[in-house]
Amino acid sequence: MRLIILEDASVVADWAARFVLQRITEFAPGPGRRFVLGLPTGGTPLGMYRRLIDFYKEGRVSFKYVTTFNMDEYVGLPRDHPESYHYYMWNEFFKHIDIDPAHAHVLDGNAPNLVAECKRFEDLIAEAGGVRLFIGGIGPDGHIAFNEPGSSLVSRTRVKTLAYDTLEANKRFFGNDISKVPRQALTVGVGTVMDAKEVMILITGVHKALALAKAVEEGVNHMWTVSAFQQHAQALFVCDEDATLELRVKTVKYFKSLMGEHNKLIADAR
Ligand SMILES: N[C@@H]1[C@@H](O)[C@H](O)[C@@H](COP(=O)(O)O)O[C@@H]1O
């Protein structure tokens, strides 16, 4: 695993966007050759989306031949609700770029048959040839997508009942009223993300520091589902200084000493 430690959230956003730009550019998507990208929601990736929109407007990247799969969606929230992940993706990213909406997939949390919807999503990923780069965020309890503590580390896309910590963390989006946060969500499984060729997890803020330490310095543990990526062949954790506060000094120094190597990953996207 690579751990990329950057100054603050805005540098994380810029680095992550450059990494996406570089990966898409070197893949050279075109007709019959689509780049398949997994995407997160939440506050953390917002800055990355803004940078990617800038790159698109500057003519440095096109999403015309990019297919996207989002990680998760609430159950029962209308698609046009400002907190639905459909609404978020459209407003924060898709409407600003040249993506073909037919290739921008978000789970339907209002599908009449949620189990069938999850299967349809997995089938679509398989038909697209699998995800090349899955970008993720985590909750303060170390969950990836909505794979709450105790989730199977080989899980696939399914319905999940949200943990109290997640309801607490997300109530800020629902007028600070926990009773308004949907109790269930559809989410890709840990196994679904593990199947991607490459995974980039964005982690910023001191409230994520314990989760980062558990994920990096302790063993693989289903109580901190993001720790599963210790066993991924190409996983990058991109974090800010605040998120490192629970790591050992030795760990931080080691990964910082590799920054020259890490920056080669974005060398052509400067
Ligand atoms: N299901 C989402 C996760 O996919 C996301 O990573 C997490 C962190 O959100 P934020 O980036 O706002 O801290 O929030 C929710 O729980």
pLDDT (tens digit, 9 = 90+) per residue, 53-109? 999 999 999 999 999 999 999 999 999 999 999 999 999 999 999 999 999 999 999
Closest to 182 in 3D by CA, of 211, 162, 168: 162
Model confidence at 201: pLDDT above 80? yes
Q: Annotate 39-65 with b (16+ C-beta within 10 A) or e (fewer).
A: bbbbebbebbbbbbbebbeeeebbbeb
Distance (angstroms) between ligand 1 centre and the Cα of 41 equals 6
Closest to 29 in 3D by CA, of 124, 132, 116: 132
Mean pLDDT over 104-118 rounds to 98
Distance (angstroms) between ligand 1 centre and the Cα of 107 equals 16
Residue 3 φ/ψ, nearest 5 degrees: -115, 115
3-state secondary structure of 134: strand
65 within ligand 1 shell (Cβ under 6 A): no
* 0.80 exceeded by pTM: yes
What ipTM, to 2 d.p.? 0.94
Token pair recorded at residue 10:
């805005």
Mean pLDDT over 219-238 rounds to 98
Pocket test residue of 12, 39, 41, 184 for ligand 1, highest count of atoms within 8 A of CB: 41
Domain 2-269 annotated CATH 3.40.109.10: no
- Using a pLDDT cut of 90, give the percent of the chain over it: 97
- Using a pLDDT cut of 70, give the percent of the chain over it: 100
Look up residue 138 and give its DSSP letter. Answer: B
Is 141 known to be catalytic?
A: yes
Closest to 23 in 3D by CA, of 100, 106, 131, 129: 131
How wide is the angle at C-alpha 29 spanned by C-alphas 18 and 96, nearest 5°? 60
Banded pLDDT at 268 (limits 50, 70, 90): confident
Distance (angstroms) between ligand 1 centre and the Cα of 33 equals 30
29 within ligand 1 shell (Cβ under 6 A): no
Q: Which of 8-12, 157-161, 162-166 has the lowest mean pLDDT?
A: 162-166
* Residue 165 pLDDT: 86
Angle formed by the axes of helices 46-57 and 9-27, nearest 10°: 50
CB 161, CB 150: distance < 8 Å: no
Mean pLDDT over 136-153 rounds to 95
Give me the residue spans of the domains in the chain. 2-269
Atom of ligand 1 nearest to the CA of 40: 4
Mean pLDDT over 143-161 rounds to 96
CB 67, CB 35: distance < 8 Å: yes
**Residues forming beta bridges with residue 161, ordered by sequence position:** 184
Mean pLDDT over 215-227 rounds to 97
Pocket test residue of 39, 44, 158, 165 for ligand 1, highest count of atoms within 8 A of CB: 44
Provide the sign of the torsion angle of the four alpha carbons 8, 6, 166, 86, taken in this order: positive
* Residue 169 pLDDT: 86
Distance CA 151, CA 157 (A): 12
Look up residue 204 and give its DSSP letter. Answer: -
Model confidence at 166: pLDDT above 90? no
Token pair recorded at residue 92:
């924060």
* Residue 269 pLDDT: 85
Model confidence at 227: pLDDT above 80? yes
Model confidence at 270: pLDDT above 80? no
38 within ligand 1 shell (Cβ under 6 A): no
* Residue 145 pLDDT: 96
End-to-end CA distance of the chain: 23
Distance CA 169, CA 172 (A): 7
Average pLDDT of every residue of the chain: 97
Is 222 known to be catalytic?
A: no
Token pair recorded at residue 123:
């089938």
